[in-house]
Each structure stands twice: as structure tokens, then as C-alpha cells.
Amino acid sequence: MRRLLFGLVLLLVVAPISAATVEGIRMSQGDDTTRLVLDMSGQVEYNAFLLANPDRLVIDISNAKQNANLAIPALDQTPVRTIRQGTPQQSTLRLVLDLHQSVRFETRRLPPHQDHPHRLVIDLFTDQGPGGTAVTTVASKSSTSTTSTSSQASEPSNTQASPQTAEAPSRDEPAAQAPQITPVATPPRTRHSLPRRDIVIAIDPGHGGRDPGAIGPGGTREKDVVLQISRRLARLVDAEPGMRAFMTRDTDTFITLRQRIQRARAAGADMFISVHADAIANNRNARGSSVYILSERGASSEAARLLADRENAADLHGGISLENKDDLLASVLLDLSQTASLEASVEVANNVLSGLKRLGHVHKRQVESANFVVLRSPDIPSILVETAFISNPEEERRLRDPDYQERLAQSMMSGIRTYFQRNPITETVKPQQHVVSRGDTLSGIAQRYRVNMAELKSTNNLQSNTLRVGDVLRIP
């Protein structure tokens, strides 16, 4: 019996403890925020800190090992340049995120849920904290959050890797050190109005790169003419006071349908317009423009996708996240956002279609509904414009004509202008704030925004219920 017990103890001592691995990396983009979700093979303890010159985020994961088959997601339009992995110490996995710029970051662990394993969530914020300091929030080795300033170590990094071949960090990178903890002061309340901002119009030229789109009888490629029309529309938008254009692509490059939505959301778009040229095989007589919005079936399928993967879903307009909400609340928030977005899309589409009717013949005299993926953003009014039929030889010729391209752009611009004249956007709303005006009370503001009054006071460091006209309150 004694020998059996000794053998069991010896087995426990020499048996290797299973090291965790990063099984996958998922990435999503929001306004000024990039989220990375590391799918882990087990629960882990970790430490995360920033390094400067060049900017990097280092994540040391205890009792973990490299995954040689780890796939790195596309990093275009994100603050992350490359992702590398290595083992600076035995049983410690180091992930290094080489950054294009300084960031703030927050990290936390999530337990397994439904089909999701243990996860490590990393949020990168490209805006700056109070006084321009890159403030970080790290939840390391426990569920308690620690607030600290970014490390200012100036050690150089000589190793680079493409996303497809993540390699170990350079040997001269120091072992993870907990940053010096310093309290972060509450931002002082200011007595001024919220800043105005430009209205952002996301313009999405369809197809591109290896995807030529439809090809006309004369060899005209859809991807070329819609890019030319989109550039003309962007110039008109930029010339409009208070508006700014954002192109999802400005060159002949291929981007996925989801990436088009992500880029628009990352740019803070208030409207999304996808530009295409229609075609019908074996029918050269079809002609005219059409305007589409998302169908109810498309909205329903997108809602189901977002609710099934809430932790990866970017915040809704106004900074409202679906994450950590129960099923009913998340469903209600998403439904409200989608309903408002679809109602706005209908109005935008009708205004744009009216402009196109003044230009000439339209193929469909009413706004049509379709399940286009690029229209599925739940919080951005989105429309798709079929400018003309490239399969019609006469309209193919017009689509190549710079004058006609300009008139098409002007017609769409007329609809955009009309919509925002009726629905002006004059103030920033992220994060949500309230400017105190005469007659406002703390209880009334809490009731208006449906928040707890004690939490409202705590968020704004208020010692009493007294408010002053002109104060700016942050809404929790």
C-alpha cells in the first residue's frame, strides 16, 4: 500500500501540467475601439503592459505555450501592425502586439459560455485619456481591475513578422513587469457646450481587386466605373459644409463585405452608401437606377448573428454594448437600434431616389428591399444604389462618361443633403453626455436617461444634488 501511494505521489510530481494555448484570435472594429478575443484552451493567468519607442502591447500568459498553427486575423484599418508570439521564459507565452500608435487598453477574462471556450478579451482605444495620458486598465490574475499608466520603457524591438508568420519577440524585450500603479484623477467638469462635429458619409464602391463585378458588352468593368462615381461623390461631400466623406476603398483593391461595414463603423459613419452598377444576363434593354435598403429577413438574420456572438459585437450607436446584457435586454436594445436605423434608411433612400428621378429614368420607382450583407449594420442608415445597367450598351456608355458620372454623384448628393437638412446632427454623442440647462434637476436627468441617480452622481463626482447651468454630465 505504501509503495502504491509513493508511486501515485511520484506520478503527480513528474506528470507535466497541461499548458494552455491560444486556439484562435478574433478581431472586431468599433468607433476608436479595436477588440481582440483570444480563445484559450483553458483558464489562464496573465499580465499585460505597454512599451513605447516603438509602441507595443505585451501580454505574458503563465503556464502557456506557443501554437504553431495560430492564425492571425486581417489587421488592415486597425492600430495593430503585427502580432508575434514567443516564450521568453519557460512555461510563459508572450504575445506582442506591434502598434501603429499609442493606445489605451483594457483586458479581462471570460469563462466558457455555450460554444465559447475560456477567453481573454483585449480592447484597444485610440483616443487619449485625461490630459492626453494613455491610460490602461488591466484585469490580471483576478477579476479585480487595476488602473495604471502606460509603461514608458524605450527598449527597441528589432523583430517584425507578417500576420501570416508570427514569430517570437526580440530577446532584448524585458520580462513582464507590473507597471507602477497611480490613481487616475476624475476629469473635471467643464462649463461649455459639447463640440460640433462633421457628419461622416461612408461611400462604398462595390467590388474591386479580384472581383470585377458585372462586365458590360463593351468590356467596361463595374468595379472601375463605381470607383470613379464614388470619388466624385466623395468630393461633393467634402465640399459640403459640416460633412466629411470616408471611402471604404479608394483603390482597385478587394475587401470583404463585412470589412466594408467594419471600416464604415470604425470611421464613425452616420450614413453608408454602397455604389453599384446593375446587370441582367441576356437582357440589353433593362435600364435605369434603383435604390435598396435592407429587407426584414436580412435584419432578422443579422440580429440573430449579433445576439449569438455578443462579446464580439461592436457597440451600438451611442456606445451601448450588447455584451453582458441578458437575452431580453440585448434583444430589446438591438431591436430599437435596428428599427431606428431602418426607418432612417427608408428616408435616406427615398431622398436619393428622388434625386435620381430628376436625372432620368429609374428602373424601380419605389425603394426596394434586399438581403445585401453591406446593408446589415444595425445602427447606421445604409442604402445601396444601382446607378444604371452596365449590361445595357447605351447605359454602359453613359457610365463611362465623366459628365454623366458627375450628374449621378450630384443626384445622390442632393438626397444626402436633403436628409440631413431634415435630420441634423450637431453634437457628439460618444460618450453620452448631458449639458445642464435652466430647470434641470439631477432626478429629472436620471429619469430622462433611465439611469440610477446615485450612479449618475458617482460617475460625475458630485457631492450634492446641486447643478449649475452649463455643466456637462457624463451619462453612465
Closest by CA position to 298, among listed 342, 243, 239, 232: 342
User: Left, alpha or beta for 231 (phi > 0: left; psi -120 to 50: alpha)?
Assistant: alpha
Closest by CA position to 127, among listed 31, 37, 202, 51: 31
Q: Is the dihedral of CA 321, 377, 303, 120 positive or negative?
A: negative
Q: Which three cell numbers stand for residue 248?
A: 471604404
pLDDT tens-digit series, residues 143-176 = 333 333 333 333 333 333 333 333 333 333 344 3
Does this model's pTM top 0.85? My answer is no
pLDDT tens-digit series, residues 68-102 = 888 888 887 788 988 998 887 778 899 999 998 88
- Inform me whether the pLDDT recorded for 355 exceeds 70: yes
pLDDT tens-digit series, residues 204-230 = 999 999 999 999 999 999 999 999 999
Q: Can you list the domains of the chain with their CATH numbers?
A: 17-149 (2.60.40.3500), 199-422 (3.40.630.40), 433-474 (3.10.350.10)
Reported confidence tier of residue 17, pLDDT bands at 50, 70, 90 = low
- 173-192: buried (b, 16+ CB within 10 Å) or exposed (e) per residue? beebeebeeeeeeeeebeee
Q: For residue 304, what pLDDT is reported?
A: 55
Closest by CA position to 268, among listed 127, 131, 373: 127
| 9-13, 155-159, 258-262, 451-455, range with the lowest pLDDT | 155-159
Q: Which three cell numbers stand for residue 284?
A: 440589353
Can you state the percent helix, strand and coil of the chain, rounding each to 5?
A: 30, 25, 45
Contact by Cβ (8 Å): 30, 266: yes
Task: Output DSSP code: residue 310.
Answer: G
Distances (CA, A) of 199 to 158, 224, 460: 41, 27, 28
- Inform me whether the pLDDT recorded for 193 exceeds 60: no
Contact by Cβ (8 Å): 262, 192: no
Reported confidence tier of residue 274, pLDDT bands at 50, 70, 90 = very high
DSSP code per residue over 346-381: HHHHHHHHHHHHHHS-BS-SS-EEE--GGG--TTS-
Grid cell 434637476 is found at: 441
Q: For residue 251, what pLDDT is reported?
A: 93
Q: Which residue has the higher pLDDT, 374 or 12?
A: 374
**Mean per-residue pLDDT for 352-373?**
86
Cα 297 from Cα 277, distance rounded (Å):
24
For the chain, percent of residues with pLDDT exceeding 90: 23
Distances (CA, A) of 59 to 44, 45, 421: 12, 10, 48
Contact by Cβ (8 Å): 446, 459: no
Q: Which residue has the higher pLDDT, 178 or 472?
A: 472
Q: For residue 333, what pLDDT is reported?
A: 55
pLDDT tens-digit series, residues 407-427 = 999 999 999 998 888 877 654
Q: Residue 110's beta-bridge partner residues?
A: 119
Q: For residue 208, what pLDDT is reported?
A: 93
